[in-house]
């Protein structure tokens, strides 16, 4: 008996330990499996399965909104002039510049006795107009002769001086007896919430609302002027407290503006939905134009701005905003600063001292312009491959872009086009920076199916024209 027990005891003990371990660790194992499944699901996402109903015609495709560009103040001079011909080829509708007071020596004198010299800024505005665009002037920064401690990111010593500066600026560019420009946009400050531009807030000593109100007062005092647009707050992102604070200010607001540096293109559309919902309690303001006056995938300088990654991000963002988007989406920026020879600048074009070369992002805008026409119903977009369809004259077009933040996702994307008139069609595939093919397809049932290879960071247009 003793010998039997000695042999069995380890076995029974092992069983007991195993059961206890199973009871203790099984829930943890199940949680781990669930978390792994969620992670894999998020990592893999959903592939696209595009379906286009050729008979379901929607609203006209708006393309003007993305022909908007912003130039930063990395040099105190006319940075656009050396690349003006290339900029004109972008068919810009509007171009934004900032640093208009501190970079161009506009204001001199002393409080209550100010003088103005717009010659240097006039050169910039003249260049903008020569490209076919109208200007958006970011009313920044505080002229040092009126600023506290002479700092251009501080409030003025006397707020009436700030009012006078804004009044004179608007009269100069919008004045019928002066530059006589119509439809100029004036935006109060640039990224006021950022430390380096003043770290303004919604109240206190450095209140953006006070800055805006005295600027709006100057706008209201401007006389003999053409119609112009006045707004803000041009923050580093879309912030509800800034939008609502401005809405409650009682000042003139012709547009709301903010900057968006977001890696996820789909967040741009969510922002549009958010700002509309926030302004619903303000009937007089809810339909005011929304302007994203700077956008990109990151606010930091990055070598990726010179690659197809940036091009695909831009195309994917435009796709998200092609319906229900902002009045203008300003790509930042037009041309690199002079010290970005490593390719890390935000520009669509490298600096003249670095070859003045157009980067991949430069070509996106004209490529998507081919989609002008009336939108056609498209469904089945995925996590990476998105797109929209349009029809103009006798041609159906499908725009597809594969934006992958990791840069490795490739899809064999099924595309089904339904409710076509039976007959023979010329089918083309045209990829920016890639292949171009053409063939003929005959359909008797009004359905055409294709499989399109979508490599990472690529965009293409499929065209179908009935013979």
User: In this structure, what CATH number is given to the domain that contains residue 304?
Assistant: 3.20.20.80
Q: Which tens digits make up the pLDDT trace of 390-399? A: 999 999 999 9
More confident residue, 394 or 13: 394
Instruction: Decide if 25 is inside a domain.
Output: no
In the chain, how many domains are there?
Answer: 2
- The two three-digit tokens of residue 463, written as one number: 């065209």
Let me know if 273 is exposed, middle or buried by CB neighbors in 10 A (0-12, 13-18, 19+).
Answer: exposed
Residues in the chain: 467
Q: What is the mean pLDDT of residues 446-466?
A: 98
Q: Is the pLDDT of residue 39 over 70?
A: no
pLDDT band at residue 9 using 50, 70 and 90 as cut-offs: very low
Q: Is the pLDDT of residue 31 over 70?
A: no
Mean pLDDT of the chain: 92
Residues 314 and 381 in one domain: no
In this prediction, residue 22 carries a pLDDT of: 42
Q: What is the mean pLDDT of residues 170-181?
A: 98
Q: Which tens digits make up the pLDDT trace of 319-371? A: 999 999 999 999 999 999 998 889 899 999 999 999 999 999 999 999 999 99
Residues 222 and 344 in one domain: yes
Q: What is the mean pLDDT of residues 419-436?
A: 97
Single residue among 346, 369, 392 that ends a domain in this structure: 369
Single residue among 369, 390, 414 that ends a domain in this structure: 369
In this prediction, residue 343 carries a pLDDT of: 87
More confident residue, 7 or 306: 306
Q: Which tens digits make up the pLDDT trace of 371-389? A: 999 999 999 999 999 999 9
Instruction: Decide if 358 is inside a domain.
Output: yes
The answer to whether 88 and 40 are in contact (CB under 8 A) is no
Q: Which tens digits make up the pLDDT trace of 231-286? A: 999 999 999 999 999 999 999 999 999 999 999 999 999 999 999 999 999 999 99
More confident residue, 15 or 232: 232
Residues 300 and 392 in one domain: no
Residues 133 and 56 in one domain: no
Residues 211 and 356 in one domain: yes
Q: Could you give the residue ranges of the DSSP H alpha helices within 322-451?
A: 364-369
In this prediction, residue 334 carries a pLDDT of: 98
More confident residue, 125 or 407: 125
Single residue among 369, 391, 409 that ends a domain in this structure: 369
In this prediction, residue 41 carries a pLDDT of: 39
Please compute Rg for the chain using Cα positions: 28
Instruction: Decide if 27 is inside a domain.
Output: no
Q: Which tens digits make up the pLDDT trace of 191-231? A: 999 999 999 999 999 999 999 999 999 999 999 999 999 99
Residues 292 and 342 in one domain: yes
Residues 52 and 108 in one domain: no
Residues 427 and 360 in one domain: no
Instruction: Decide if 271 is inside a domain.
Output: yes
More confident residue, 3 or 377: 377
Q: Distance between CA atoms of 259 and 236, rounded to whole angstroms?
A: 5
Determine which helix (DSSP H) or strand (DSSP E) holds 129, and give its type and residue range: helix 119-130
Residue 449 sits in a domain whose CATH number is 2.60.40.1180
pLDDT band at residue 43 using 50, 70 and 90 as cut-offs: low
Q: Distance between CA atoms of 226 and 378, rounded to whole angstroms?
A: 42
SS3 120: helix
Instruction: Decide if 26 is inside a domain.
Output: no
Instruction: Decide if 448 is inside a domain.
Output: yes
Q: Distance between CA atoms of 174 and 221, rounded to whole angstroms?
A: 13
Half-sphere exposure of 310 (CA within 13 A, CB side): 28
Distances (CA, A) of 33 to 4, 46, 371: 42, 20, 45
In this prediction, residue 74 carries a pLDDT of: 92
Instruction: Give the range of the structural domain holding residue 265, as residue numbers without chain letter.
Output: 64-369
Q: Which tens digits make up the pLDDT trace of 405-421? A: 998 999 999 999 999 99
The answer to whether 165 and 222 are in contact (CB under 8 A) is no
Instruction: Decide if 38 is inside a domain.
Output: no
Q: Is the pLDDT of residue 40 over 50?
A: no
Q: What is the mean pLDDT of residues 422-433?
A: 98
Residues 165 and 282 in one domain: yes
Distances (CA, A) of 384 to 291, 391, 415, 451: 26, 24, 15, 16
Q: Is the pLDDT of residue 2 over 80?
A: no
Residues 97 and 241 in one domain: yes
Instruction: Decide if 2 is inside a domain.
Output: no
Q: Distance between CA atoms of 315 and 304, rounded to whole angstroms?
A: 15
Q: Distance between CA atoms of 316 and 115, rounded to whole angstroms?
A: 47
Q: Is the pLDDT of residue 27 over 50?
A: no
Residues 218 and 318 in one domain: yes
Residues 307 and 447 in one domain: no
């Amino acid at each position: 008996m003793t010998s039997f027990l000695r042999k069995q005891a380890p076995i029974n003990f092992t069983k007991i330990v195993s059961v206890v371990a199973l009871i203790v660790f099984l829930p943890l194992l199940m949680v781990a499996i669930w978390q792994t499944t969620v992670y894999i699901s998020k990592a893999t996402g959903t592939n696209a399965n595009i379906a286009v109903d050729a008979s379901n015609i929607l609203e006209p495709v708006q393309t003007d909104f993305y022909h908007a560009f912003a130039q930063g103040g990395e040099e105190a001079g006319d940075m656009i002039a050396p690349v003006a011909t290339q900029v004109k080829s972008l068919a810009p509708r509007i171009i934004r510049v900032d640093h208009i007071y501190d970079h161009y020596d506009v204001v001199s004198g002393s409080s209550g006795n100010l003088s103005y010299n717009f010659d240097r800024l006039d050169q910039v505005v003249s260049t903008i107009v020569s490209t076919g665009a109208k200007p958006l002037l970011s009313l920044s920064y505080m002229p040092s002769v009126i600023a506290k401690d002479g700092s251009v990111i501080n409030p003025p010593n006397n707020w009436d001086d700030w009012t006078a500066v804004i009044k004179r600026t608007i009269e100069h560019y919008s004045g019928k007896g002066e530059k006589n420009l119509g439809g100029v946009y004036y935006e109060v400050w640039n990224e006021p919430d950022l430390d380096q531009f003043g770290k303004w807030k919604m109240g206190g000593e450095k209140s953006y609302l006070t800055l805006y109100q005295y600027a709006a007062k100057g706008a209201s005092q401007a006389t003999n002027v053409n119609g112009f647009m006045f707004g803000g707050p041009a923050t580093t992102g879309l912030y509800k407290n800034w939008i609502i604070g401005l809405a409650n200010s009682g000042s003139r607001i012709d547009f709301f503006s903010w900057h968006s540096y977001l890696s996820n293109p789909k967040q741009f559309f969510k922002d549009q939905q958010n700002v509309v919902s926030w302004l619903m309690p303000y009937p007089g303001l809810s339909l005011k134009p929304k302007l994203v006056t700077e956008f990109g995938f990151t606010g930091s300088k990055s070598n990726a701005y010179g690659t197809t990654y940036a091009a695909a991000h831009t195309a994917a963002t435009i796709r998200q905003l092609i319906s229900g988007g902002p009045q203008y989406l300003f790509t930042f920026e037009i041309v690199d600063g002079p010290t970005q020879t490593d390719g890390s600048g935000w520009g669509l074009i490298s600096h003249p001292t670095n070859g003045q070369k157009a980067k991949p992002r430069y070509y996106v805008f004209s490529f998507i312009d081919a989609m002008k026409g009336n939108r056609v119903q498209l469904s089945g977009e995925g996590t990476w491959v998105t797109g929209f369809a349009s029809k103009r004259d006798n041609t159906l077009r499908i725009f597809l872009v594969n934006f992958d933040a990791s840069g490795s996702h490739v899809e064999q994307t099924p595309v089904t086009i339904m409710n076509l008139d039976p007959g023979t069609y010329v089918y083309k595939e045209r990829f920016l920076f890639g292949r171009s093919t053409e063939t003929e397809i005959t359909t008797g049932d009004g359905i055409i199916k294709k499989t399109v290879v979508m490599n990472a960071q690529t965009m293409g247009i499929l065209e179908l024209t009935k013979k």
